[in-house]
Amino acid sequence: MSTHYFWALAFPKAVKQSIQSQLKEVIEHFPFKRWVHVDDYHLTFAFLGSAEEPMLRRSIELVGEAIQNEKAFPLHIQGLGVFGNRKSPRIFWASLKPDDRLMSLQSRVFKACLESGFKLEKRPFAPHITLARNWTGTDFDHNWLETNNPYQQDPIFFIANEVVLYKTNIGKVPKYEPIATFSLITE
């Protein structure tokens, strides 16, 4: 398998640990086959796939230019959701409260990657943090997403302040390695 790359919003270590800690309270209700390693939590902005070094360098240059004046901003994790078959979901994820600044930042990164020559997915941006993959239980009950949501009563607040180009290292845990990092402006 070839190495893949993607641009993402990185989370501070304390936020990743909070996500995992709160998830431990409800994990027994969600029998998924593979759980994401705590150090691999992120929010994908643009999945590049495999890439040649010149295109990666160009994307780093253009993303850096596109977000150089972007300011850090607050976000919070508030919900749970799934993608895939209603009875046997493929992806289990945490949601963030909708935020125009997040949408704008993702759009800038995405456009810079297109300008770099990457062919990107055209699906609308759906901000989420992948937590687990491949449901192994009986028929999934969507009511569980609300009744077992640890973030509903105790949302996780944090400052979005870092955009990172990650490399996927298949077979390693954690598997995402930062290649380039851009810090947003903090006041």
- Active-site residue set: 42, 128
SS3 assignment, position 40: helix
Q: Of 11, 17, 145, 148, give the one whose Cα is nearest residue 76.
A: 11
Buried b (16+ CB within 10 A) or exposed e, 26-40: ebeebebeebbebeb
Distances (CA, A) of 173 to 11, 166, 176: 17, 14, 8
- Decide: residue 136, CB within 10 A, 0-12 exposed, 13-18 middle, 19+ buried: exposed
Q: Which two tokens stand for residue 120?
A: 């990107």
For 83, 138, 139, the CA distances from 142, given in Å and listed in that order, are 11, 12, 10
Q: What single letter denotes the amino acid at residue 156?
A: I
Tokens 């040649």 belong to 52
